[in-house]
């Protein structure tokens, strides 16, 4: 276990981002400074990121709180600047024709009429067919937009009167559409950094690439150049590359050794067309300086967080389920680590609950519960680990965890796989295995997320005959699932068993690489799943224990083996616990607490209020010890989970008791409203994110959009 002591207040202030001067008073409601320090010992070197030369270190570059992120191909990375775009025309509320197209006339501004086709991009919004006319403009600002890469035309005439035409691919008359035409602005041709300090024996890591032009048209040849000037050395040209339009789109990586003794250095970066002109869509990643240096104390352990979407806690065999759904998780994580058996999700939907996981905040405290904008100063776990020198990487299956919703902030690499029923999970864990093999000498934070256990429950054929025997159904141990839903529950259990093998194979690779003893592994879920126990199936619209209760398991340095903690806790506690275990400063503002005292044999506070909500108007719930209070649409109910763990019998609720619970909710909402106001983006305007066509298909396959 890492030893701990409280740092001085000056250390905490020095680590606070300037934005937090605005919210410091609110922050004091929730958190103090870290109480951790490193053990006094020397250990072996570990490669980590010592310097990130981000936009703030370059001349005349705009900066947002979370920084720019750019996706090239299927991988997004932090960038010095995202390619800019400007909306030049819109046509709203179009009705589809019998040939499967929608089209509308537009007036192109004079200054863009002669631009080549690859300067334009199209975004489309699918609208309800019965949308009221007065709502069209409003909903066009708030509904998800889809970035269209193929199947559209801009038909121009000499007078500027033009037609946008889009092949939507949906049943005729099923929806209306709004189309928005953008111009991709020319990229910046030259970047010059301020001087940065490179430590001894360091390596400079550069990345660059081209965002594919809209409409599927080709790129122009582009010359990328990078010159490095370090104190005591002549200027070196470290990148001198003409990127041909025929080359496959993707990030290009270059590494170069810096002076062995360390030095003050400066970078000049350029991206130009054949005539030296700026080029649309050029991107430079944030330069990084990595070093394999001796560190004071034990090196910070690697961190791996695995999220199995829609995994309810009571369907893990290691949590008491009678079926052997999770033998490898049981033996490799639960038996070798500490499991928290009474964890409440904050919201019964993927995006909102994962934002709580990464921020330590309840949904009400965030300006948009399931989204984070680049200039909204919500601190995130991945950013704190990135700032501690971790290489941060995520492999997800998009949909509600799409990077454009804000989940890519803090990650050096964020890769999204398009959702497919059959091979969910397999590719994601293969990516994870490839990553740890390539990064075994790195200090890394790896996040893996899969919809393997999400509806529709489609396991691999090797698992297709598991859990099919009706005689094995044990209602006492498996819950009051009605007979008509048991086939679905069986299929769900099969996907858990397959996910268990995926997790087990990944953990085996950590062992084979010699990384297991030096890696903190956290297994989590975002919410559970209902199978008719209370009349509903699925998750978003309910808050009973089968939906709200999720597993959380820690294994690794500082975590005792075989410990089961039954004290009620919340997903907002996960990020504070990770940072506490690592001895890093906490997030500036959190509503969760560190669970690390449990690893030291201390008791966690048993009666603190834990809040949750679900997709119903005015829905909110409070968990306090054995008691669970739920309220929505004017109805309220209280349950004693010690006596009635499956919430079948309401406890009589007096007016005084109801008032006490409602007072707790009012206090929570007032505190959250103060945070929400402090976290509002600087422009005070929220806009719906733009998603890819693949992400829209994933959302539709998972049932989140029609």
Give the start-to-end residue ranges of the domains of the chain.
Answer: 46-83+187-293, 85-184, 302-701
Stronger pLDDT, 394 or 45, i.e. the higher one: 394
Give the model's pLDDT for residue 60: 87
Element (H, E) at 666: helix 655-678
The whole-number pLDDT of residue 689 equals 59
Write the CB contacts of 166 (distance below 8 Å, at least 6 apart in sequence). Answer: 101, 102, 103, 122, 124, 148, 151, 152, 153, 177, 179
Domain 302-701 has CATH 3.40.720.10: yes
Give me the percent of the chain exceeding a pLDDT of 70.
83
Please say whether the beta carbons of 286 and 53 come within 8 A.
yes
Residues 60, 64, 67, 72: is their CA dihedral positive or negative? negative
Q: Is 70 exceeded by the pLDDT of residue 687?
A: no
Which helix (DSSP H) or strand (DSSP E) does residue 507 occupy?
helix 486-512
**Of the candidates 523, 46, 36, 521, the residue with the CA atom closest to the CA atom of residue 300:** 46
| Paired tokens of 638 | 């209280």
CATH topology of domain 85-184: Immunoglobulin-like (2.60.40)
What is the C-alpha separation between 539 and 562, in angstroms, rounded?
A: 30
Q: Given this model, what pLDDT does residue 615 score?
A: 78
Quick one: which of 251, 314, 234 has its CA closest to 285? Answer: 251
pLDDT value at 140 more than 80: no
Using a pLDDT cut of 90, give the percent of the chain over it: 55
Residue 5 pLDDT more than 50?
no
d(CA 571, CA 569): 7
Cβ-count burial 277-314 (b if 16+ within 10 Å, e if not): ebbbbbbbbbbbbbbbbebeebbbbbbbbbbbbbbbbb
Please report which confidence band the pLDDT of residue 699 belongs to, taking 50, 70 and 90 as the band edges: very low
pLDDT tens digits along 347-379 = 998 899 999 999 999 999 998 888 888 888 999
Give the pLDDT band of residue 229 (cuts 50, 70, 90).
Answer: very high
Cα–Cα distance for residue pair 700/456, rounded to 1 Å: 12
Return the higher-pLDDT residue of 332 and 104: 332
Instruction: Please list the residues that pair with 303 across neighbouring strands.
Output: 445, 520
Dist CA 81 CA 63 (whole Å): 8
Among the ranges given (292-296, 338-342, 472-476, 631-635), the one the predictor scored with the smallest mean pLDDT: 292-296
Q: Between the ranges 45-59, 101-115, 159-173, 392-406, where is the mean pLDDT highest? A: 45-59
87 pLDDT band, cuts 50/70/90, is confident
Identify the pLDDT of residue 159. Answer: 72
CA 526 to chain CA mean position, Å: 12
CA distances from 620 to 564, 572, 612, 642 (A): 28, 16, 6, 21
Kindly report which listed range (108-122, 522-536, 548-562, 663-677) carries the lowest average pLDDT score. Answer: 108-122
Model confidence, pTM = 0.85
**How many other C-beta atoms lie within 10 A of the C-beta of residue 28?**
10
Give CA 97 to chain center in angstroms: 38
What pLDDT does 18 receive? 45
How many Å apart are CA 110 and CA 615, to the nearest integer?
Answer: 46
pLDDT at 506: 98
Q: Span 455-473, mean pLDDT? A: 88
Least confident of 396-400, 604-608, 692-696: 692-696
DSSP-assigned beta bridge partners for residue 416: 396
- Residues 151 and 103: beta-carbon distance below 8 Å: no
- The more confidently predicted of residues 306 and 589 is 306
pLDDT in tens, 14-62: 334 444 444 444 444 444 333 333 333 334 568 999 999 999 999 888 8
* Cis peptide bond prior to 112, omega within 30° of 0: no
pLDDT of 660 > 90? The answer is: yes
> In this structure, are residues 270 and 223 in contact, taking their beta carbons and an 8 Å threshold?
yes
For the record, the structure tokens of 310 come out as: 């829609």
Kindly report, residue by residue over 541-594, the tens digit of the pLDDT.
788 999 999 999 999 999 999 999 999 999 999 999 999 999 999 999 999 999
- Report the topology of domain 46-83+187-293: Jelly Rolls (2.60.120)
Average pLDDT, the chain: 85
Task: For residue 685, give every residue at least 6 positions away whose Cβ sits within 8 Å of its Cβ, in sequence order, or none.
Answer: none
> Confidence band (pLDDT; 50, 70, 90) for 691?
very low
Sign of the four-CA dihedral 326, 330, 333, 334:
positive
Which of the residue ranges 133-137, 261-265, 698-702 would you say has the lowest mean pLDDT? 698-702
**The pLDDT of residue 431:** 94
């Amino acid at each position: 276990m890492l030893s701990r002591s409280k740092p001085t207040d000056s250390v905490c202030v020095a680590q606070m981002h300037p934005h937090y001067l605005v919210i410091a008073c609110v922050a004091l409601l929730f958190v103090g400074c870290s109480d951790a320090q490193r053990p006094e010992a020397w250990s072996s070197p570990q490669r980590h990121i010592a310097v990130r030369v981000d936009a703030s270190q370059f001349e005349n570059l705009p900066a947002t709180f979370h920084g720019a992120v750019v996706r090239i191909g299927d991988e997004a990375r932090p960038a010095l600047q995202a390619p800019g775009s400007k909306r030049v025309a819109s046509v709203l509320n179009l009705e589809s024709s019998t040939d499967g197209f929608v089209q509308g006339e537009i007036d192109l501004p004079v200054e863009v009429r002669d631009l080549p086709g690859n300067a334009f991009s199209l975004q489309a919004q699918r609208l309800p067919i019965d949308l009221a006319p007065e709502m069209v403009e409003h909903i066009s600002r708030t509904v998800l937009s889809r970035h269209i890469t193929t199947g559209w035309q801009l038909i121009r005439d000499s007078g500027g009167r033009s037609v946008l035409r889009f092949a939507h691919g949906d049943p005729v008359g099923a929806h209306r559409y709004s189309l928005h035409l953008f111009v991709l602005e020319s990229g910046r041709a030259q970047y010059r950094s301020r001087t940065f300090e490179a430590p001894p024996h360091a390596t400079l890591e550069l990345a660059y690439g081209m965002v594919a032009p809209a409409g599927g048209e080709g790129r122009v040849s582009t010359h990328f150049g990078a010159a490095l000037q370090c104190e005591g050395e002549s200027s070196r040209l470290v990148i001198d590359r003409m990127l041909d339009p025929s080359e496959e789109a993707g990030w290009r990586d270059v590494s170069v050794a810096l002076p062995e003794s360390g030095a003050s250095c400066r970078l000049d970066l350029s991206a130009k067309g054949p005539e030296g002109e700026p080029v649309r869509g050029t991107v430079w990643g944030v330069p990084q300086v990595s070093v394999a240096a001796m560190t004071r104390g034990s090196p910070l352990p690697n961190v791996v967080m695995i999220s199995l979407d829609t995994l309810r806690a009571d369907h893990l065999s290691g949590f008491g389920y009678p079926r052997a759904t999770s033998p490898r998780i049981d033996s490799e994580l639960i038996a070798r680590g500490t499991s928290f058996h009474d964890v409440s999700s904050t919201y019964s939907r993927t995006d909102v609950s994962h934002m709580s996981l990464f921020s330590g905040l309840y949904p009400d405290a965030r300006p948009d519960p399931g989204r984070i904008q680049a200039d909204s100063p919500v601190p995130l776990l991945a950013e704190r680990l990135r700032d501690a020198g971790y290489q941060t990487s995520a492999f997800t299956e998009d949909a509600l965890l799409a990077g454009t919703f804000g989940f890519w902030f803090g990650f050096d690499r964020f890769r999204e796989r398009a959702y497919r029923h059959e091979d969910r999970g397999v590719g994601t864990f293969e990516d994870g295995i490839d990553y740890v093999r390539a990064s075994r000498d790195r200090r890394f934070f790896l996040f893996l997320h899969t919809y393997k256990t999400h509806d529709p429950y489609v396991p691999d054929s090797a698992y297709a005959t598991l859990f099919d025997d009706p005689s094995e159904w044990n209602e006492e141990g498996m819950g009051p699932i009605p007979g008509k839903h048991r086939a679905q529950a069986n299929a769900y259990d099969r996907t858990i068993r397959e996910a268990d093998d995926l997790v087990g194979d990944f953990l085996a690779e950590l062992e084979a690489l010699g990384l297991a003893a030096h890696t903190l592994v956290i297994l989590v879920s975002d919410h559970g799943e209902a199978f008719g126990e209370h009349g509903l199936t699925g998750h978003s619209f309910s808050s009973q224990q089968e939906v709200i209760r999720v597993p959380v398991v820690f294994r690794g340095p500082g975590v005792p083996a075989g410990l089961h903690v039954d004290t009620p806790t919340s997903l907002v506690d996960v990020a504070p616990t990770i940072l506490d275990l690592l001895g890093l400063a906490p997030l500036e503002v959190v509503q969760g607490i560190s669970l690390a005292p449990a690893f030291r044999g201390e008791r966690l506070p048993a009666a603190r209020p834990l809040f949750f909500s679900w997709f119903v108007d005015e829905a909110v719930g409070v968990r306090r010890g054995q008691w669970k209070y739920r309220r929505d649409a004017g109805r309220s109910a209280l349950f004693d989970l010690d006596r009635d763990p499956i919430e079948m019998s309401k406890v009589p609720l007096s007016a005084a008791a109801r008032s006490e619970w409602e007072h707790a909710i009012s206090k929570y909402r007032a505190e959250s409203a103060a945070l929400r106001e402090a976290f509002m983006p600087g422009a005070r305007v929220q806009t719906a994110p733009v998603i890819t066509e693949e992400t829209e298909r994933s959302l539709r396959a998972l049932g989140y959009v029609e």
